[in-house]
Amino acid sequence: MKKVLITGIDSFTGMHLAAYLEKFGYDLYGTSLFETGLKKYRCDITNKDDVKRVLQQVQPHYFIHLSGISFTAHENTEEFYRVNTIGTTNILDAFVELAIQPLKIILASSATVYGNQGLEVLDESLCPKPSNHYGASKYAMEVLASSYFDKLPIILVRPFNYTGISQAEHFLIPKIIKHFREKKGKIELGNLHVMREFNDVNFVCEVYKRVLECSAKSETVNICSSRGIKLLDVIDMMNTIAAYTIEVEVNPAFVRKDEIASLTGSPKKLFNMIGKVEQKPFQITLKEMYEA
């Protein structure tokens, strides 16, 4: 059995991905900032000694780095860089210093590195220009990680928006579903005209699995489908699923001044690398989340 070590294994993505990979016979290990358990190690990635201790114990064949701060409205801006940027270089340094050579290292960046390009579809040829600290911390991570391409088999992935059961309620789709589940009469949202990918977490898990198993390395690739969905369309789908119509009100406090109007990606490079990955209609994802 091939050992897979996932940082942030108790995160939304980590939980889904660990369960998904186990179905295919992988031996899953993980790190958590708070909890320990069977094959789960407490690890603060901003502390390189913590990272080295876990790597020495597990000796993973594959490594997937999901740990980080992913909520763009997180208040402590310095933490974005301390965790997302420095934390990642601590991991790569630890691999090099311990002379551990895994078969593949996947580092999770983000589509927010693109910023607002003024284009409908974003591909990897674009020059990133992040418009917030989250995106900037991820782009800084990418630049620094690329200097390890000659030492380690790294793939940098840029996931576009995705959702699913158990995603934290401060994220947009779970927030909307919670309002419908509680039969609220009104919901306050920000910019209603934004378009996002809104992929299913199982689509993302299958992509991670295929990237893990493919021969590519020293690459940066989108995790996306180019399936853009408008926020108001999400509300319409939920009106149907919940069998009532909610009133939508724009709260100016929720409208970000640096809001990216359209954020969909080109999956051409991804699908050339791993083959086309299909996913369920978004209405089904919403229904599963609503009924969970």
Q: What is the CATH number of the domain that holds 85?
A: 3.40.50.720
- Does residue 289 belong to any structural domain of this protein? no
- Does residue 247 belong to any structural domain of this protein? no
Dihedral (C-alpha) 263, 269, 273, 278: value to the nearest 10 degrees? 50
SS3 call for 10:
coil
Tell which residue, 285, 4, 261, has the closest CA to residue 115.
261
Q: 128: domain range?
A: 3-163+199-226+264-280
Q: What is the pTM of this model?
A: 0.94
Token pair for 155: 């793939």
β-pairing, 195-196 vs 229-230, is: antiparallel
SS3 call for 290:
helix
Q: What is the DSSP letter of 253?
A: G
Largest alpha-carbon pair distance within the chain? 59
Respond yes or no: is residue 134 known to be catalytic.
yes
Which single residue is written with the structure tokens 């299913």?
Answer: 200
- Does residue 203 belong to any structural domain of this protein? yes
- Report the domain count for the chain: 1
CA distances from 258 to 73, 123, 135, 141, 211 (A): 12, 20, 12, 21, 32
Q: CA–CA separation, 268 vs 221, rounded Å?
A: 9
Along the 292 residues of the chain, how does pLDDT read in single tens digits? 899 999 999 999 999 999 999 999 999 999 998 888 889 999 999 999 999 999 999 999 999 999 998 655 556 789 999 999 999 999 999 999 999 999 999 999 999 999 888 888 999 999 999 989 999 999 999 999 999 999 999 999 999 999 999 999 988 999 999 999 999 999 999 888 888 899 999 999 999 999 999 999 999 999 999 999 999 999 999 999 999 999 999 999 888 776 777 778 999 999 999 999 999 999 999 999 999 9
Q: CA–CA separation, 233 vs 141, rounded Å?
A: 34
- Does residue 187 belong to any structural domain of this protein? no
Token pair for 273: 């690398």
- Does residue 156 belong to any structural domain of this protein? yes
Q: Which of 41, 134, 139, 208 is catalytic?
A: 134
β-pairing, 62-65 vs 247-250, is: unpaired
Which single residue is written with the structure tokens 């990918």?
Answer: 197
Q: CA–CA separation, 121 vs 250, rounded Å?
A: 26
- Phi then psi dihedrals of residue 283, to 5 deg: -60, -35
- Does residue 62 belong to any structural domain of this protein? yes
- Does residue 287 belong to any structural domain of this protein? no
Token pair for 107: 């580092």
Which single residue is written with the structure tokens 């490594």?
Answer: 63
CB 188 within 8 A of CB 254: yes
Token pair for 259: 């809001």
CB 201 within 8 A of CB 164: yes
- Does residue 168 belong to any structural domain of this protein? no
